[in-house]
Structure formats: C-alpha cells, structure tokens
Amino acid sequence: MSLISNFPRAASAWRLCLAIATLAVLQACSMLPPHVERASTAAIPASTDNLLGRIAEQSVPKGKGSGFRPLPMSPWSMDARLTIVANAQKSLDVQYYLLQNDVTGHKLARAIRDAAVRGVRVRLLVDDMYTADSDDMLLALAAYPNVDIRLFNPFPSGRASVMTRWIFALGDFSRVNHRMHNKLLIADGAFAVAGGRNIADEYFFMSKEGNFVDFDLFVAGEAVPRLANIFDTYWNSPRVYPLHIVLPSRKEPQALRDAFEQLTADSLPAFPTPAPDKPDFMGYLPLSADFQHPPLKLLYGHIEPFSDDPEKVSGRAELGDDKTTVTARVRAAIREARTDIVIDSPYLIPGKLGMDGMRTAAAHGVRMQVVTNSLGSNDEPFASAAYGRYRVDMLKMGVNLYEIDSSQLHQDSLIGGALHSSIGRSHSKLVVLDRKTTFVGSMNMDLRSSQLNTELGMLVDSPELAEHVRGLIERLRAGGSYKLRLRQPGDHIEWVGIEDGAEKVYDTDPGVDFGTKLQLWLLFPFVSESLL
C-alpha cells in the first residue's frame, strides 16, 4: 500500500489542487509577452569614408570576389576580432551562441563598449542558453549609449540559474530546446569573422580545465554584405527579444556602467597584441600588424554564405527532411564530391541521412577521412556514445576514422604547448571537398545542428584555402589522434595511438575515466539521439 493512500481523502485532494495551481502559475509566469515592440534596423554598408571600408577596398581588388584568411590559432583569431572592433567607426553587428562572463568575454565586451563610447552603433545578439552567468554583464553593457542587446528565443522566468530556467520552462520545452548556434562578428560592413569559436575562455586557450582547437575565417569583399543580410534576418526576427523586456533592471545607468568597469577590469592584461613579425603556422602575420601596411594579405575566391531561418525554432526541421537547412546544403555539397572528402567535426552523429550519403560516396570511389573527438577527450560524452553506434559501419565502408587524443595532442610543439595542463579537444567544424571547396561554419555533423539549432555556414571555392585546412586537419590527425581499425575477423574496434614514440593498440575507448563510464551506463540509454 502506498504512503499516499494513508492520508485523509480531503488532504490529498487539497494537495492535488495546490500542485495543479502551482503548476499553472509557473506556466503563466513562463510565457513570453505576445506583443513586443522591436525597432527594425538594417546593416550599415561599407564605405570608403571609413578606415575599414578603405582597407577592405584596397585589399580586395575588383573582380576578385571575396578576400579571406584562415584563423586557426586563438591568439591570432582574437587579435582579428579586437583589431576590427577597435577600428570600427560606424557599426558593429555581433552574434554569438555563447558570450561568457569570463576573461575572454570581458575582453570582447570591453572592446565593444569602447567602440560604443566612440559613437559606433552596436547590435549584440546572444542566444539565451548560457546567459544565467552573464545576465549582469549584458545588463551593464546595455547601459552604455549606442548599445542595443537582444536575446534569441529567451527563457522568460527563473533566470537566476540554468536549473530554474529549465524548471520554469518545462511546459515550453519544445520551444526552448531550439537554440541559435551561429557565430558572427561584422565591423563597419567591411570585415567579418565567422566560424566555430564562441566567446569564452576555453575557445581561446585560456581555460585551466579544457581548451578547444578551433577555426574561424576572416572575410572581406562580396561575402560580407550577404553575411550582414543574414544578421539582419535574425536581428529583426520575432524570435528575438530586447534584453530589457526579458531582464528589466531597476539600477541607474551609471551604477550599471560602474559595475561593468569593475567586472571587466580583469581582462585588461589579457590577450596582448601578438608580435607584429610573428606569423601563425600558416604564414599569416597578426591582423593588427597587417593593418599598419595595407593591403592585407588575403586569399581570394567565391564564398557562398548561408544560414538557417530563425523560424527553424518552430520545429519544422525536426524530421530531418527540411532541404533549406545548413546541414542539407552541406550534405548536397558532399554528394557532389568526386575524389575525396575530409571532415573535422567535434560532435559526429551522422544519423540515417549522413550514413546514406557516406555509402553513396563510397560506392562512387570517393575517399573519406573523418576526424572527431574521442570519448576520453570529448566534453559531451553522450554525443560520443551516440557516435559510437556508427563507427563499425563507417569503417566497413572504408572511412578513414580518427579520434582526437588529448595526451597525444599535448606532444605537438605548437598546439600542445598552448594547452599547458588542460584537456585538449577539437571544436572545428570543417569539411574539405575535392581539395578545392571548404565548408567553414558553426554546424556540427550531428542531429542537433541538423534538426534543432540554427546554424551559419560558408562554402569557400579556393584550392589554396582547402590546402591550408587540410594541413591543419592533417596536423591534428598525425600528431594528436588515434586511428581506428577493425580487428580481423570480426567487428571489434581497435584504437591505434602513439605512446613514448611507439605504437600502442587499445581494445576499448582509451582514456575514459570511471565517472564518465558510470554516467553513460546510468543515463545514456534514456537520452534520445535527436537531443545531442
């Protein structure tokens, strides 16, 4: 007999009514306002009246299409952002999945503040997934003139913590489970930085626990207005809410500005300007140094930018058959490959459609190489476990499969030295097709990117960039990964790595701690692949 049945009938009825009433109140409190005034604004186009416009015109000759350079190393990538923000005179359009309340977030937020104080119009769009830790920073930044901040698909209640946000939004899970995963920064309509990096310590080798090897592209020329149009589509979307509507503040603007100054002061010594004569391993000097002597050193070619519609959050892509998504566009490009495909994706869950595409490529004799994180190095072990279901089939169809190993990555003289004692992982989202076309963007090769989150991507037609990216992936593969193979006869996977200069073979996922194994054993059977 249950304990509940021992209570008097009236008391049980009263408690049931109270629970229903409480749930109803929570649901009512968790609703976004149905009608919100949003000023519709548009990107300010590049102009040679401004410094950035002049440098862009000098650096991308007519007929060249777009100019671009890879940003594989985090100091050079942050330097590029800080350089164009510091030199902006008219506008900054900034869109990120994550703008963290840490030293890296403070550094960029402070640079944006400085631009706003100079009179630059700032439009900052942030997904609301991780703002529980950064609400105060965003409120303080919004207190400056010329700064307009909006949140994508926000949680309306319980904003004190991630847990309370989800509790208050349980009845609205189908909406809040869709997030904006885009990463984009545009300065004066002249230059842009887009790719895989969020704005947080771990994406710029500033974390003591774990850091990501990642990749961005610096862009000028014809692609920038198209990226600006994408930003405008999001900025003016009904899925976006002004910060003050979701998070009103009773503090005076000056008090908020004082708080911002104090909060972000820890970033003042962070990210010193790289030495002007020190190139990255692809041969590019820091952008701050190149800016002193334009034209900039760039590659040239055609860039096709594209993104998901913000209305993807309505659930229209959840069946995986929406042909307008970024994932669908990348799959179409992969189907057009004729010789070889190289993929670097941190979270790899191909699903039925992805596996069908690989089988088609294999049937046409296309060589395939895939690099992803190992279970031992992945910050998302459920995603690794889901990917594990596909490994044997990929190996059987001839895919060359590699998994990043943090311990081997530490031995790389360039990447490993910057990792210090932290865990090293890949976060790059890259695809190289036939040595001439490169996908760069925010999209992972998983079901969440395909069906739930919005993404931004670019297909770049440039053999030179393709070789740069293949070289980066090869460096990760050769110096910091396990090669997977099937033990013959049978379907048992072996991991082949290098330890102390000698080959070492593992029979199970190497480097996995007991806590991760226990977590997977207890919880993974109940997690749907579509959520990963």
Q: Of the given ranges (8-17, 26-35, 412-421, 481-490), which has the lowest mean pLDDT?
A: 8-17
Question: Looking at residues 154-180, what average pLDDT do you find?
Answer: 90
Per-residue confidence at 447, pLDDT binned at 50, 70, 90?
A: very high
The mean pLDDT value of the chain amounts to: 90
Per-residue confidence at 11, pLDDT binned at 50, 70, 90?
A: very low
Give the type of residue at 72. P
pLDDT per position as a tens digit, 470-513: 999 998 888 789 999 999 888 899 999 888 778 899 999 998 88
DSSP-assigned beta bridge partners for residue 441 = 457
Instruction: Give residue 413's pLDDT.
Output: 59
Q: Residue 14: is its pLDDT beyond 70?
A: no
| Residue of 154, 94, 164 lying closest to 129 (CA atoms) | 154
Question: Looking at residues 168-182, what average pLDDT do you find?
Answer: 92
Domains in the chain, start-ordered, CATH in brackets? 61-290 (3.30.870.10), 308-531 (3.30.870.10)
Main-chain dihedrals φ then ψ at residue 219, nearest 5 degrees: -130, 140
Per-residue confidence at 25, pLDDT binned at 50, 70, 90?
A: very low
pLDDT per position as a tens digit, 113-153: 999 999 999 999 999 999 999 999 999 999 999 999 999 99
Crossing angle of helices 351-363 and 326-335, in 10° steps, is 10
Instruction: Give residue 10's pLDDT.
Output: 39
| Residue of 81, 59, 79, 58 lying closest to 68 (CA atoms) | 59
Question: Looking at residues 381-389, what average pLDDT do you find?
Answer: 93
CB burial of residue 488 (10 Å; 0-12, 13-18, 19+): exposed
Instruction: Give residue 264's pLDDT.
Output: 98
Per-residue confidence at 532, pLDDT binned at 50, 70, 90?
A: confident
Which has more pLDDT, 432 or 4? 432
pTM of the model: 0.92
Q: Residue 436: is its pLDDT beyond 70?
A: yes
Q: Residue 3: is its pLDDT beyond 80?
A: no
Instruction: Give residue 35's pLDDT.
Output: 75
Q: Of the given ranges (23-27, 151-155, 396-400), which has the lowest mean pLDDT?
A: 23-27
Top mean pLDDT of 377-386, 464-473, 504-513 is at 464-473
Q: Residue 21: is its pLDDT beyond 70?
A: no
| Residue of 199, 203, 222, 256 lying closest to 59 (CA atoms) | 222
Per-residue confidence at 311, pLDDT binned at 50, 70, 90?
A: very high
Cα–Cα distance measured from residue 259 to residue 249, given in angstroms and rounded to the nearest whole number: 13
Per-residue confidence at 8, pLDDT binned at 50, 70, 90?
A: very low
pLDDT per position as a tens digit, 51-60: 999 999 999 9
Per-residue confidence at 415, pLDDT binned at 50, 70, 90?
A: low
Instruction: Give residue 440's pLDDT.
Output: 98
CA distances from residue 264 to 61, 101, 200, 267, 370 in whole angstroms, order as listed: 39, 9, 13, 6, 40
Instruction: Give residue 112's pLDDT.
Output: 98
| Residue of 430, 65, 433, 78 lying closest to 219 (CA atoms) | 65
Backbone φ/ψ region at 501: left (φ over 0), alpha (ψ -120 to 50), beta: left
Q: Is the dihedral of CA 477, 481, 487, 490 positive or negative?
A: negative
Residue with tokens 């300007």: 273
Cα–Cα distance measured from residue 129 to residue 52, given in angstroms and rounded to the nearest whole number: 33
**Do 344 and 429 meet the contact criterion of CB atoms below 8 Å apart?**
yes
Where does 48-96 show beta strands of DSSP type E?
A: 66-71, 91-96
Which value, in Å, is the radius of gyration of the alpha carbons in the chain? Answer: 24
Q: At a CB cut-off of 8 Å and minimum separation 6, what does 112 contact?
A: 85, 92, 94, 122, 124, 141, 147
Top mean pLDDT of 168-177, 437-446, 470-479, 516-525 is at 437-446
Cα–Cα distance measured from residue 306 to residue 314, given in angstroms and rounded to the nearest whole number: 19
Question: Looking at residues 86-105, what average pLDDT do you find?
Answer: 98
**Do 56 and 65 meet the contact criterion of CB atoms below 8 Å apart?**
no
Per-residue confidence at 65, pLDDT binned at 50, 70, 90?
A: very high
Per-residue confidence at 29, pLDDT binned at 50, 70, 90?
A: low
pLDDT per position as a tens digit, 320-366: 888 999 999 999 999 999 999 999 999 999 999 999 999 999 999 99
Per-residue confidence at 185, pLDDT binned at 50, 70, 90?
A: very high
Question: Looking at residues 162-179, what average pLDDT do you find?
Answer: 90
**Do 320 and 450 meet the contact criterion of CB atoms below 8 Å apart?**
yes
Q: Residue 236: is its pLDDT beyond 60?
A: yes
Q: Residue 412: is its pLDDT beyond 70?
A: no
Give the type of residue at 19. A
Question: Looking at residues 362-384, what average pLDDT do you find?
Answer: 93
